[in-house]
Amino acid sequence: MSTLLSIRNLRICFAGQEKPAVDGVNFALSPGKMHALVGESGSGKSLTALSILRLLPPAAQVKADAIELDGVDVTDWRDEKLRQLRGGRIGMIFQEPLSALNPLHIVEQQVCENILIHQQIDRHKARLRCIALLEKVQLPDPEQIMARYPHQLSGGQRQRVMIAMALANDPALLIADEPTTALDVTVEESILDLLKQLQRDLGLGVLLITHDLGIVGRYAEEVSVMCAGKIVEQGNTAAVLADPQHTYTRHLIDSAPGGTAPTPSNSGTLLRASALSVRFSQRLGWLGKKSHLTAVNNVSLSIRRGQTLGVVGESGSGKSTLAMALLRLIDSRGDISLGDIRLDALRGKQMQPYRARMQIVFQDPWGTLNPRLTIGQIVVEGLEVHRRDLNKTARDARVAAILTEVGLEAEMRHRYPHELSGGQRQRVAIARALILEPELLILDEPTSALDRSVQHQVLELLKALQHRHNLTYIFISHDLRVVRGISHDLIVMRDGCIVENGNTESIFQSPQQPYTQQLIHAAFDETVKY
Amino acid sequence: MSFRLFTRTPRRPFSNPVTERQWTAFKQNKRGYWSLWLFSFLFLTSLCAEFIANDKPLLARYQGETYFPIFVSYPETTFGGVFETETSYRDPFVAELIEEDGWMLWPLIPYSYNTINYNLTTPAPAPPSSDNWLGTDDQGRDVLARVIYGFRLSVLFGLLLTIASSIVGIIVGAIQGYYGGWIDLAGQRFLEVWSSMPTLFLIIILTSFVAPNFWWLLGIMLLFSWMALVDLVRAEFLRGRNFDYVRAARALGVPAPVIMFRHMLPNAMVATLTFMPFILNGGIVTLTSLDFLGFGLPPGSPSLGELLGQGKANLQAPWLGISAFASLSILLTLLIFIGEAIRDAFDPRKFLS
């Protein structure tokens, strides 16, 4: 069988770093096959892919025995020859379609530019080609899509445009760098299906870079598992997943989210919200018409003490806005009561004493900590507000204790956030919330930005903490597997409304609403598509 | 309220990684780094202007006793003179009296900014000579002494104006950005009206109502210079409002002033510090223009603008205009270089490339 792409002994070093970022990578890709590079962040999988087109940052030094495309060594190609390769023989799809598309050009300009650079045809023909391409990526009504700007398209549509651009010059190889990470689950599936179909119809070789073993198992024929710059395991996907040889592969497979929530302790209601609505009003100009965006629409929920309420929905469904409204950080209408206290009746400073009883952990581990403060200063802040009775030594002792409790070293309180990894930062964020001994903890996608194995550890920590302190969680996530593993009750949201709610397991067993069925299908579909 | 706004870092006091990185980047800009040293040297030197250019000796010895005329005012009778008033040491008669039975240690330049040299061989303005290194102005005062004192006054005025207008600007911008909504809207409209005023003319009109001294001028100019930072700080605060760590602080119940000061202001300080040298420059230029036009500091004050004015009035005496021009342009250039280096140091893109 012929080889489309073959990489032998690829090494990438960064100036000033002793350890190479990619260290002796070998792999081969056959035409018409999908090869997945899987690994956690920092494993060198994206660097490997980018090195093929020499798209690495200038500080990177690439050495390879061979990077062969169709048997031709392209390692030393420069400038003009390399440009023919880029977007010609090799197409590339990036993770974030919004930033990969030029916001000032309409779709037609972007796709046609790509065609006109590589092919000697006139504008009219390029336009026809553009329409054909958009049809090929299954965009409805291509003529209309072509006249739109990227911000007028949905995330899935943008990614389809990106794919159309990558396909514009009949490439032999398509490199897809985490093509669906920024997309919702239901969209993710359709994009991957499309890639798979194109691969089969056009006989493309696809190099898929991902961190998600689930996707690999369903779509890729072959897989290379990368860890710390090296390929630790390689081979037929089904074989590798069924019988992983390397401990790292096993570790990756084991950290896939799953399982069900631990049995809850039965007790009374802690938080109740009824007919909660959040509206954002917008006015164009001084005398313009006021328009309203209802982010949360008439949501009612109640959470029992010591239990977890899962909130799932795709981006823009109002999950995070609901969290902010429950914490009374944004204005809302409707009743919110914590125990016997009507929170919505409290104004301004009256809310202050109750803040200690409900806390929040955010998604982005990089944005959640103030980079200019030490970990100790960050964690102690809540005590400075709510526990003025404690002196400095007592506060410091509490900080040390809570850091130990979330699995960090007490000495870490003298460090700065940038010295910590993503998982450690998220633990600090949990410590900051827990130091006030809250009853309710709202977790807004706490693990979405973390690698699978770290995600697993953080979820275990959360479960342990809940058990130890009888904490009540609201767990917001778009990842149904994660939610299933931790929550007792579930709310499915769409466009600000509750689509379905009830006991988690019963919803997963027999979803009533079509939307819930679709979500669950997308998340738990194990069908192999190759 | 006994809130600790800045908790001390145990490991590396008074530094954090962000500041350290920025300082390194600042030092990498050699031009700005040397400008900072040169400016600091010039400014510190000019702060000691009394010891460098003065019409009183630093130290005098008369009849076995030591006198410090620069600190203490001695009547002329102390040295065997006739008048009860303060000794005029430059008077040849008095100087002779003292030197008969002692000595005097003069500063490098034996003139203060308002000392009139009566021993000129040519009519004022006199050209540069060994007595008056940069010549004298049209009232017989030493130009170099006036430049040193004028430099000090300009920089001090500029610094005070910068600090005061930054404080006002940051507070207004922070409140607008943090609270948003109606407060922001009203503030923006007011700013638009206020900033469209013809500033220089208004200052001229206002200064004609009062007898303008240093503090009046500072106050009047502050009325119009505080707006420079408002938009920047407001934008930073609008952005900062949605940072997760700001939200987390709000969820913790941290009071708004503390959130603004501790979590949001450091982000706005980047923009603020970048702008400060340019505001300082603007302040100095405005003061100089007012002095040049004659609406500034009271007559007799050492001022670069007044010196420029003299240069224009006495084109036959080019040392006036050249001295004023050279000192102003060196001052403003140094500040611009420093400002550029600060701007680069705070630019995160500089690190990535």
* ipTM computed for the complex: 0.76
What was the pLDDT predicted at B350? 57
- The whole-model pTM stands at 0.76
What is the predicted pLDDT for the residue at B349? 61
Rounded Cα gap, residues A176 and A158, in angstroms: 14
Mutate to test the interface with A, among B6, B14, B252, B264 (most CBs of A within 10 A): B252
SS3 state of residue A26: strand
Q: What mean pLDDT do residues A131-135 have?
A: 91
Collapsing DSSP states into helix, strand and coil, what is residue A19? coil
**Are A1-89+173-254 and A261-357+439-530 in the same CATH fold?**
yes
Q: Could B251 and A351 be called an inter-chain contact, meaning their C-beta atoms sit closer than 8 Å? A: no
- Say what the pLDDT of residue B167 is: 92
User: Which of A330, A357, A359, A370 should one mutate to test binding to chain B, selecting the residue with the greatest count of B CBs within 10 A?
Assistant: A370
* Residue from A372, A387, A388, A390 whose CB has the most chain B CBs within 10 Å, to mutate: A372
The residue extents of the domains of chain A are 1-89+173-254, 96-168, 261-357+439-530, 366-437
What is the average per-residue pLDDT within A351-369?
87
Question: Over 80: is that where the pLDDT of A97 sits?
Answer: no
Phi, psi dihedrals of residue A34, rounded to the nearest 5°: -110, 125
Query: For residue A353, which residues of chain B lie inside 8 Å, CB to CB?
Result: 253
Contact yes or no for A385 and B253 at CB 8 A: yes
Q: Please tell me the predicted confidence (pLDDT) of residue B4.
A: 43
pLDDT for A284: 59
Q: Which residues contact A351 (CB under 8 A, 6 or more apart)?
A: A328, A343, B253
Tokens 């630093």, residue located: B58
- Could you tell me what percent of chain A has a pLDDT over 70? 97
For A341, B12, B349, B353, the CA distances from B22, given in Å and listed in that order, are 48, 16, 12, 15
Q: What is the Cα–Cα distance from B105 to B54, expressed in whole angstroms?
A: 11
Among the partner residues A364, A373, A377, nearest to B244 by beta-carbon distance: A364
Residue B33 identity: Y
Mean pLDDT taken over chain B: 85
Q: What letter represents residue A502's amino acid?
A: G
Can you give the C-alpha Rg of chain B in angstroms?
26
Average pLDDT value for chain A? 86
Chain B residues whose beta carbon lies within 8 Å of the beta carbon of residue A286: none
A506-524 per-residue burial string, b: 16 or more CB within 10 A, e: under 16: ebbeebeeebbeebbebbe
More confident residue, A394 or A315: A394
Query: Quick one: how far is CA A22 from the chain centroid?
Result: 24
Residue A146, C-beta contacts closer than 8 angstroms, at least 6 positions apart = A106, A107, A108, A111, A127, A130, A131, A134
| pLDDT for the residue A492 | 92
- What is the Rg, in whole angstroms, of the alpha carbon atoms belonging to chain A? 25
Q: Compute the nearest-CA separation of B279 from chain A (Å).
A: 26
| A51 secondary structure, DSSP code | H
Best CA proximity match to B33, nearest among B347, B344, B244:
B344
B253: nearest CB among A352, A378, A433 = A352
A261-357+439-530 is a CATH 3.40.50.300 domain: yes
At A22-69, the pLDDT tens digits run 888 898 888 888 999 998 877 888 888 888 888 887 778 888 888 888
Q: CA-to-CA distance for B54 and B114, rounded, in angstroms?
A: 9
pLDDT in tens, B85-137: 888 888 888 888 888 888 888 888 888 888 888 877 888 788 888 888 888 88
Instruction: Supply the pLDDT for residue B15.
Output: 58
Instruction: Tell me the residue type at A193.
Output: D
Homologous superfamily (CATH) of A1-89+173-254 is P-loop containing nucleotide triphosphate hydrolases (3.40.50.300)
**Nearest Cα residue to A457 out of A422, A484, A490:** A422
**Residue A285: predicted pLDDT:** 59
Give the per-residue pLDDT at A207. 93
pLDDT by 10s per residue, chain B, length 353: 344 444 444 444 445 666 777 788 888 889 999 999 999 999 999 999 888 888 888 888 888 888 888 888 888 888 877 788 888 888 888 888 888 888 888 888 888 888 888 877 888 788 888 888 888 888 888 899 999 999 999 999 999 999 999 999 999 999 999 988 889 999 999 999 998 888 888 888 888 888 788 898 899 889 888 888 899 899 989 888 888 899 899 888 888 889 998 888 888 887 788 888 888 998 899 889 988 988 888 888 888 898 998 889 888 888 899 999 999 999 999 999 998 888 888 776 655 44
Give the nearest chain A residue to B11 (CA atoms). A414
Q: In the 3-class helix/strand/coil scheme, how is chain B assigned residue by residue? A: CCCCCCCCCCCCCCCCHHHHHHHHHHHHCHHHHHHHHHHHHHHHHHHCHHHHECCCCCEEEECCEEECCCCCCCEHHHHCCCCCCECCCCCHHHHHHHHHCEEEECCCECCCCCCECCCCCCCCCCCCCCCCCCCECCCCEEHHHHHHHHHHHHHHHHHHHHHHHHHHHHHHHHHHHHHCHHHHHHHHHHHHHHHCCCHHHHHHHHHHHCCCCHHHHHHHHHHHHHHHHHHHHHHHHHHHCCCHHHHHHHHHCCCHHHHHHHHHHHHHHHHHHHHHHHHHHHHHHHHHHHHHHCCCCCCCCCCHHHHHHHHHHCCCCHHHHHHHHHHHHHHHHHHHHHHHHHHHHHCCHHHHC
Among A363, A369, A416, beta carbon nearest to B245 = A369
